[in-house]
A and B are shown apart, each in its own frame.
Chain A
Amino acid sequence: MATTRKRTSAKVARSSQPASPMRVRADALQDLPAGVGQLSWGERLSVLDAWVQVLDGAYAHLPLKRALYGYDPIRAIEHLRQQVPALNDLQFHRELATLINRLRDAHTQYKGPKSLEGVVASLPFLVEAYGPADQPTYVVSKVNEEAVRDKHFVPGVSLEWWNGVPFDRAVDLHAESETGGRPDARRARALESLTFRALGYSPPPNEHWVVIGYRDSGNRPREIRLAWQLVEPDRAATASRGGAMRTRRAINPAAEAVRRAKKAMFNPELWKAESKPARASAGTGYEDFLTARPVAGGKFGYLRIWSFDVDDDQGFLDAAIQLLDGLPDRGLIIDLRDNPGGLIWAAERMLQLFTPDPVMPTKFALRATPLTAAMASAAFNQQELAPWVESLTTAASTGEPFSSHLPITSAEQCNDLGQCYGGPVVVVVDANTYSSGDLFTAGVVDNSIGPVVCIGQATGAGGANVWSSDDLRAAMAAAERPLPPLPEGVGFSVAVRRAVRNGSADGVLIEDSGIAGQPYAMTEHDIFGSNEDLIAHCAELLEAQPWTRMNVKRKAGALTIVTAGLDQLDLYIDGHPSGETIFLKQDGTKRVPLPAKAGEVEVVGFAGGVVRQRRRLAAPAGRG
């Protein structure tokens, strides 16, 4: 088997080198010493001490997870502590990762020793499912042809066996080790990670190779044996590097690593695109995060948001606006499937681009504990936690279990750009839409931006702001509550602030429930084509929504306003009403002179008394 493995790896290495920065490691799973880096017992105890301290003092979901799953992670860690000398490194790593995974919280993850950081164990094919949730059909959707010699094992073959286990049962078994509050979320995540495992966040696969039973295009049963290989995908140049924004993130880091590995293996052209320097006339520089195209015969636009994992939310939004400018304004499908989340600011500020109404940000709270109160009170943590200080310190006197729920993205930030896209919007999500993806979806629903189409029951239900162990170390040190030293390369992420929704769902938790939408089951056509059935379904929803148009240009001291479907325009200059309301009798172009000293201008379009459009135009250069 080693021969097969080496041949496979070498082939992939040759094929991937010119196309992507993904590194294929020469070693396979069995070559890793014990599968993980080595930790002494003392180091293991330090890891456990740190977990106990953080779970007990800072983990936002602890009481809810205890209640929901009947599981106490702190007691479980204390039990694991007693086993420390009896476990080898791999066993310890597996036990702790499994223990943390039982929280069903992709935000809260144990990151193993450094030897595995950034490494993804992969098989050279992708699995997808279509059909009803209770009777899915599993198929191979992509194959790395350079790594697979079997000419029968091609996209489209149906999967029946995984190491002799019926395929749907194998997915269920793998789901047991996955995060995800709902069973459908666990299954979705299991399917996503079945052939791609981020080893920094989960134990290595048990088997060194898998035997896949499948039916070929002629419906003949066949088998193929494939070895796990180890790949190390790089991060995009514009991806988050964990700088100042890192405490404002909401992401499933394991899913992000897997997403990058899949992209490297199956979309080398996109790798090429993101590695090229962005040009003002073409690329946005955010090709790893945003792509767009017209669909439905050019009638509607389609915006794919792959991830929010950026450091520069403004750059991300500028790229989105650039892409939106080139799309039809009749309606827009925003696709967030498999989006693992990222920077909260990027997700929440993006909402304003699609609505004329003010956007209300999601609110967050910390658990009220002596640790969070000390962290919030520490001088060096004021920039991050100052708004929560009063409620956290008061909680000691009131017994309130949580702080006040306050936004991380301020209302001003959420509304500082205003609407850019005036057409109706439909958002597509699935159970792998997670964290900032959850927040974006919640914002779409709670701010009445548009309908949500959901593959599965709801989004992935990651309702929290996640901090890394480095973030916590700094915040706890400032509070003179030091985190025990962690061995080199070991870390974790923890949900520190939980999120609650707004609008009619005000106060409702996102964690473990997610955001439900109109259900949609993927079709075979969707998987092997370009989501045609899904897009057609969304197009119907867009068609059913009211549509208006308002394009505004400012030039030579006047506004040129092109409208459709609107019957009234209001004008605001520097925040104040200006002139009389403009009533429109028909679609067309309207020229509106501006006062000589007009600064920022806002135009509001109405249809039947309802605000449908709003555009904000900045003051000309050189003007206040």
Chain B
Amino acid sequence: MALVIAGNVVAMAPSDPAKVFRGRVWLGDDGLIDAVTPEKAPAPAGFDKAPVVDVKDAWVLPGLIDLHNHIAYNALPLWAEPSQKVSFRHHNSWTGAPTYQKSIGWPAGLLVTAEPEALLAYVQLRALVGGTTAIQGWPTANRQHVQVLRDIDEEKAGSTNRNLIHTSALTLPLLALGKMAQFENAGAGFIYHCAEGQPGSVVAKEFTDVGNAGCLQKTFIAIHCNAIAGTDWKRWAPKEKTGAVVWSPFSNLWLYGKTTDIVSARRQGVTVCLGSDWGPSGTKHVLGELKVARLASDKLGMGLKDDELVAMVTSNPGDVLARCWSRPFGRLVPGAFPDVTVLRPKGSGDVWSQVVAATEREVMLVVFDGKARYGDAALMSAAGASPSSTLTVAGIKRGFAIPDPADEKKAWTWADISGRLDAVRKDPAHAVKKADAIRRSYAGPMDDRKAPLELVLDMPGGGPQAALAMPKHPENVVVPPLPTLVHDKAFFKDIHGRGFHEGLLDGLAKFYG
């Protein structure tokens, strides 16, 4: 079904990225934006019966893009190793920490095993609440599942090719990096966790390795790179052939006390994007990460302007991904993916400062692939988002449209989603036993939509290792209570005095005051 959104359009078109105008965004039923026009312009063909959602003076933006996540871990709260007195050196330093498996590996493994579909529904809703329409870092699945966000790792962009982008959260063998360079040579993208750690630590070599492998190209998307020195960025040359770095300042500061040298990266022409990372060391979504970027830039003298920050969750990742998908993304232009985020105005600053300041309360409507998936209940209704369930978020009644996997014609309710996850927390052994029984009773092909959903965690200790590391008695696993969907007092309290950010992240609460 086609959909029209009328409001203050922040199209971020390449010809004039700063232009904001009263207009309409025409989302076709073919999976593409048909047109972006001024308010009075005639309707394009095929939109006669399309619902029009008038968001008045709200900002109509490209859907927000989270280019670094591990969504299967997003039902977990922030984690800090109690015995760790100094910041971690690098990404291999904390996976062996005394409480890592107990706090992260085991509960995450239990949730994906016992309630994979409810888990995916929860983490997708959490991203939608923050205005996200596309996210990276999905767990590998045996079959199709309910999906209300764009899966950056698996997007086919109208083709039949699921390998337009290759991804690895784990450090790859050197030979595999060479293989990735080959894929890039053939036009594919490669999203890679690279050089995550303290500057000068041993993991800085990972950046040298990707360079030697030939990965440093226009379609290389490096996550973190906080271990490399400013001059190392010059290795990624020439400037017109640089790709992107995904900046996750919260996670960097939380674990290492240092974050990526964004100034040097930008000086080298590297495109900077944002990612909220994961529950144990990240914000809840990129709308929160925007504020951390603001804080880090101000504190560390990066000189980033608000419009540059907004680009990091829209046009910057969109442009880099468009190189792999051969389709515009992250901008509201004809032919682009029809992903839209509508934000309520906040304050008296320009649009960019209002977007940076926006919280979950300001998220009015989120449209993924031309369909309204989350938003103010009235707008959801106007957008024809049916069926949908309701939920109060940041004091406002919202609707959300996540199909119930048991009957995809029905909307899944918050009570059922959260109730299933809560049941795992209350009785892990029973939940695992139940899931195991379902799995054993199924005799069909595992890629069939009716097969039990199986997810594979993507972080260190995930994958086959997770099953081996799980305690023999699930009842010994402590699953923490389900975190809220928003940045709230409980979250800010969790930040204070923990991690290695030296108080910098305490400033996040001020945005939500």
Tell me whether A567 is interfacial, beta carbon within 8 Å. no
Q: How distant is the Cα of A39 from the Cα of B185 in the complex, in angstroms?
A: 13
Docked-complex contact A84 and B178, CB < 8 angstroms: yes
Docked-complex contact B214 and A41, CB < 8 angstroms: yes
Docked-complex contact B175 and A84, CB < 8 angstroms: yes
- The residue on B at minimum CB distance from A40 is B214
Tell me whether B93 is interfacial, beta carbon within 8 Å. no
Q: How distant is the Cα of A43 from the Cα of B217 in the complex, in angstroms?
A: 13
Tell me whether A44 is interfacial, beta carbon within 8 Å. yes
Tell me whether A132 is interfacial, beta carbon within 8 Å. no
- The residue on A at minimum CB distance from B213 is A41
- The residue on A at minimum CB distance from B211 is A40
Check A85/B182 contact, CB under 8 A, given A40-B213, A41-B214.
no
Task: Report the minimum CB–CB distance from B128 to chain A (whole Å).
Answer: 37
- The residue on B at minimum CB distance from A81 is B175
Q: How distant is the Cα of A484 from the Cα of B179 in the complex, in angstroms?
A: 12
Find chain B residues with CB under 8 A from A81 CB: 175
Docked-complex contact B186 and A45, CB < 8 angstroms: no
Check A85/B181 contact, CB under 8 A, given A42-B213, A43-B214, A485-B186.
no
Docked-complex contact B179 and A42, CB < 8 angstroms: yes
Tell me whether A281 is interfacial, beta carbon within 8 Å. no
Q: How distant is the Cα of A618 from the Cα of B234 in the complex, in angstroms?
A: 71
Find chain B residues with CB under 8 A from A128 CB: none
Find chain B residues with CB under 8 A from A85 CB: 174-175, 177-178, 209, 212-213
Docked-complex contact A43 and B181, CB < 8 angstroms: yes
Docked-complex contact B212 and A484, CB < 8 angstroms: no
Tell me whether A115 is interfacial, beta carbon within 8 Å. no
Docked-complex contact A42 and B175, CB < 8 angstroms: no
Docked-complex contact A41 and B178, CB < 8 angstroms: yes
Find chain A residues with CB under 8 A from B357 CB: none
Interface residues of A in 67-104 (CB under 8 A from B): 81-82, 84-86
Interface residues of B in 414-452 (CB under 8 A from A): none
Docked-complex contact A484 and B175, CB < 8 angstroms: no
We find that the number of chain B residues with CB closer than 8 angstroms to chain A is 16
Tell me whether A348 is interfacial, beta carbon within 8 Å. no
- Interface readout for A262-303 with B: 1 if CB under 8 Å, 0 if not? 000000000000000000000000000000000000000000
Docked-complex contact A41 and B185, CB < 8 angstroms: no
Find chain B residues with CB under 8 A from A39 CB: 214
Task: Report the minimum CB–CB distance from A77 to chain B (whole Å).
Answer: 13
Find chain B residues with CB under 8 A from A485 CB: 185-186
- The residue on B at minimum CB distance from A41 is B178
Q: How distant is the Cα of A41 from the Cα of B177 in the complex, in angstroms?
A: 8
Interface residues of B in 182-217 (CB under 8 A from A): 182, 184-186, 209, 212-215
Find chain A residues with CB under 8 A from B212 CB: 40-41, 85
Tell me whether A168 is interfacial, beta carbon within 8 Å. no
Q: How distant is the Cα of A73 from the Cα of B484 in the complex, in angstroms?
A: 60
Docked-complex contact A45 and B182, CB < 8 angstroms: yes
Tell me whether B2 is interfacial, beta carbon within 8 Å. no
Find chain A residues with CB under 8 A from B177 CB: 41-42, 85
Task: Report the minimum CB–CB distance from B180 to chain A (whole Å).
Answer: 7
Tell me whether A46 is interfacial, beta carbon within 8 Å. yes
Q: How distant is the Cα of A484 from the Cα of B178 in the complex, in angstroms?
A: 14
Find chain A residues with CB under 8 A from B186 CB: 485
Docked-complex contact B174 and A42, CB < 8 angstroms: no
- The residue on A at minimum CB distance from B174 is A85
Find chain A residues with CB under 8 A from B184 CB: 42
Tell me whether A430 is interfacial, beta carbon within 8 Å. no
Tell me whether A49 is interfacial, beta carbon within 8 Å. yes
Find chain A residues with CB under 8 A from B175 CB: 41, 45, 81-82, 84-85
Task: Report the minimum CB–CB distance from B176 to chain A (whole Å).
Answer: 10
State which of A42, A82, A84, A86 has its C-beta within 8 Å of the C-beta of B185: A42
* A interface, over-half SS: helix
Check A40/B181 contact, CB under 8 A, given A85-B212, A85-B213, A485-B186.
yes
Q: How distant is the Cα of A40 from the Cα of B215 in the complex, in angstroms?
A: 8
Q: How distant is the Cα of A199 from the Cα of B448 in the complex, in angstroms?
A: 56
Find chain B residues with CB under 8 A from A40 CB: 178, 181, 212-215
Interface residues of A in 474-526 (CB under 8 A from B): 484-485
Task: Report the minimum CB–CB distance from A339 to chain B (whole Å).
Answer: 39
Docked-complex contact B185 and A46, CB < 8 angstroms: yes
Docked-complex contact A45 and B174, CB < 8 angstroms: no
- Interface readout for B213-255 with A: 1 if CB under 8 Å, 0 if not? 1110000000000000000000000000000000000000000
- The residue on B at minimum CB distance from A484 is B182
Q: How distant is the Cα of A82 from the Cα of B173 in the complex, in angstroms?
A: 10
- The residue on A at minimum CB distance from B183 is A42
Find chain A residues with CB under 8 A from B214 CB: 39-43
- Interface readout for B76-91 with A: 1 if CB under 8 Å, 0 if not? 0000000000000000
Docked-complex contact B178 and A44, CB < 8 angstroms: yes
Q: How distant is the Cα of A85 from the Cα of B215 in the complex, in angstroms?
A: 13
- The residue on A at minimum CB distance from B180 is A42
Q: How distant is the Cα of A49 from the Cα of B182 in the complex, in angstroms?
A: 10
Q: How distant is the Cα of A524 from the Cα of B184 in the complex, in angstroms?
A: 60
Find chain A residues with CB under 8 A from B215 CB: 40, 42
Docked-complex contact B174 and A46, CB < 8 angstroms: no
Docked-complex contact A43 and B174, CB < 8 angstroms: no
Q: How distant is the Cα of A46 from the Cα of B180 in the complex, in angstroms?
A: 11
Find chain A residues with CB under 8 A from B181 CB: 40-43, 45
Find chain B residues with CB under 8 A from A82 CB: 175
Task: Report the minimum CB–CB distance from A197 to chain B (whole Å).
Answer: 28
Task: Report the minimum CB–CB distance from B110 to chain A (whole Å).
Answer: 38
Q: How distant is the Cα of A45 from the Cα of B185 in the complex, in angstroms?
A: 11
- Interface readout for A455-489 with B: 1 if CB under 8 Å, 0 if not? 00000000000000000000000000000110000
Q: How distant is the Cα of A49 from the Cα of B209 in the complex, in angstroms?
A: 21
Q: How distant is the Cα of A41 from the Cα of B184 in the complex, in angstroms?
A: 12
Interface residues of A in 38-71 (CB under 8 A from B): 39-46, 49
Q: How distant is the Cα of A485 from the Cα of B186 in the complex, in angstroms?
A: 8
Q: How distant is the Cα of A177 from the Cα of B513 in the complex, in angstroms?
A: 76
Find chain B residues with CB under 8 A from A45 CB: 175, 178-179, 181-182
Q: How distant is the Cα of A82 from the Cα of B182 in the complex, in angstroms?
A: 15
Q: How distant is the Cα of A81 from the Cα of B178 in the complex, in angstroms?
A: 10
- Interface readout for A595-607 with B: 1 if CB under 8 Å, 0 if not? 0000000000000
Q: How distant is the Cα of A43 from the Cα of B186 in the complex, in angstroms?
A: 11
Most chain B Cβ neighbours within 10 Å, of A39, A46, A49, A484? A46
Task: Report the minimum CB–CB distance from B322 to chain A (whole Å).
Answer: 22
- The residue on B at minimum CB distance from A85 is B174
Task: Report the minimum CB–CB distance from B221 to chain A (whole Å).
Answer: 16
Interface residues of A in 343-402 (CB under 8 A from B): none
Q: How distant is the Cα of A85 from the Cα of B181 in the complex, in angstroms?
A: 13
Find chain A residues with CB under 8 A from B182 CB: 42, 45-46, 49, 484
Query: Could you list some 28 contacts between A and B, CB below 8 A?
Result: A39-B214, A40-B181, A41-B175, A41-B177, A41-B212, A41-B213, A41-B214, A42-B178, A42-B180, A42-B181, A42-B184, A42-B185, A42-B213, A42-B214, A43-B214, A45-B178, A45-B179, A45-B181, A45-B182, A46-B182, A84-B175, A84-B178, A85-B175, A85-B177, A85-B178, A85-B212, A485-B185, A485-B186
Q: Add 12 more A-B contacts to A42-B177, A42-B180, A85-B213 (CB < 8 A).
A: A39-B214, A41-B181, A41-B214, A42-B179, A42-B181, A43-B181, A45-B175, A45-B179, A45-B182, A46-B185, A81-B175, A485-B186
> What residues of chain A have their CB less than 8 Å away from a CB belonging to chain B?
39-46, 49, 81-82, 84-86, 484-485
Closest 4 CB pairs of A and B: A42-B181, A40-B214, A41-B178, A85-B174
